[in-house]
Structure 1
Amino acid sequence: MLLNVSYNRPKIKAKIDEEVGPAFSFMERIKMKGIGSGKLFITSTSIEIHNLLILDSYLNTCGIEIRPKGIIVIFRSILETYALVIPYYKLNLYKGKAEKYSIYRDHYFIKVKANIPRIHKFMKKVSSYKAQHLDSFNRS
């Protein structure tokens, strides 16, 4: 689900929380040693996201936030902020040969550079949380 999250809209926040769960508490963030990826450089995207990114001439970057039931990929275009909300059961994460990660949800995708070791570590953390969530989901 691709959403404009530039403005404080309770309906959109509720929709995001329903899809991927509420944000982690401060203490949970400390225990997890962070929930954000930092700045990631976008190399290619699906057409819907591409059409948003070409509206300005800035460098295309994004960030990923881990939530209890999924992730949120956040990027900016012009003065608007967009979120690609991906629950774990719809998340497909691939590591390419050319030091890139591909993040898919249905027909949306974002490919990012993986030229720094911290990115590999973060993506392993995402994969680990996805496996934990899906394993506990299948047990219940």
Structure 2
Amino acid sequence: MLLNVSYNDKKVTKKIDDEVGKPFTLKERFKLGGIGSPKLEIAEASIEIRNLLILDNNANICNIEMRPKGIIVGFRSLLESYALIIPHYKLVIYKGDFAIYSIYRDNYFIKVKSDTKAIQKFFKKLLDFKADNAPTSIEDL
């Protein structure tokens, strides 16, 4: 789901926490070696996200935050902050040609350039974490 997270709204925070879990504690963040991605340059996006990105002339960048049950892809448009909330069971990641990672959730997608080792290392960590923590049956959801 694509949400405007510019304002501190308890309903939006509850939706996010229900979908991907509460943020990691400081101890868990150290154990994982960090939960945030480096700055990611957006190469392509689905129509809903693209329509938000073309509203301003700033660089199209995003970042990814890992959560216990999924990820949050955050980006800015104009003066608003948006988040694409993706639980593990709906998260699909492809590594395409020319160092591009494609992140999918239902009809939303974002393709980001992975031109540095730090970005590739983060995606490896993300995929390993997903493999270890994704639900294995419907009862786990």
Aligned partners of 1:131, 1:27: CA distance in 2, in Å? 21
1:7 equivalent to 2:7? Answer yes
Match in the other structure for 1:31? 31
With structure 2 as the length reference, what TM-score do the two structures score?
0.96
Aligned partners of 1:21, 1:125: CA distance in 2, in Å? 18
Assess if the C-alpha contact under 8 Å between 2:19 and 2:87 holds in 1: yes
How far 1:38 moved relative to its partner? Answer: 1.8
1:117 equivalent to 2:111? Answer no
Alignment of 1:1-140 (within 5 A): 1-134=1-134, 137-138=136-137
Which 5+ residue runs of structure 1 have no aligned equivalent? none
Query: Identity, % of aligned pairs?
Result: 59
How far 1:129 moved relative to its partner? Answer: 1.2
Helix, strand or coil for the counterpart of 1:110? strand
Q: State the one-letter code of the partner of 1:67.
A: R
Assess if the C-alpha contact under 8 Å between 2:38 and 2:118 holds in 1: no
Helix, strand or coil for the counterpart of 2:29? helix
Assess if the C-alpha contact under 8 Å between 2:5 and 2:81 holds in 1: yes
How far 1:131 moved relative to its partner? Answer: 0.8
Helix, strand or coil for the counterpart of 1:95? strand
How far 1:137 moved relative to its partner? Answer: 3.8
How far 1:63 moved relative to its partner? Answer: 0.2
Assess if the C-alpha contact under 8 Å between 2:20 and 2:68 holds in 1: yes
How far 1:79 moved relative to its partner? Answer: 0.1
Q: State the one-letter code of the partner of 2:133.
A: H
How far 1:133 moved relative to its partner? Answer: 1.5
1:63-102 per-position Cα deviation (integer Å, ceiling 9, x unaligned): 0000000000000000000000000000000001110000
Aligned partners of 2:126, 2:98: CA distance in 1, in Å? 20
Helix, strand or coil for the counterpart of 1:14? helix
Would you identify which runs of 4 or more consecutive aligned residues in structure 1 move more than 3 Å?
136-140
RMSD over equivalenced CA pairs, Å: 1.1
1:12-59 per-position Cα deviation (integer Å, ceiling 9, x unaligned): 000000000000001110111000002100000000000000000000
Aligned partners of 1:77, 1:14: CA distance in 2, in Å? 23
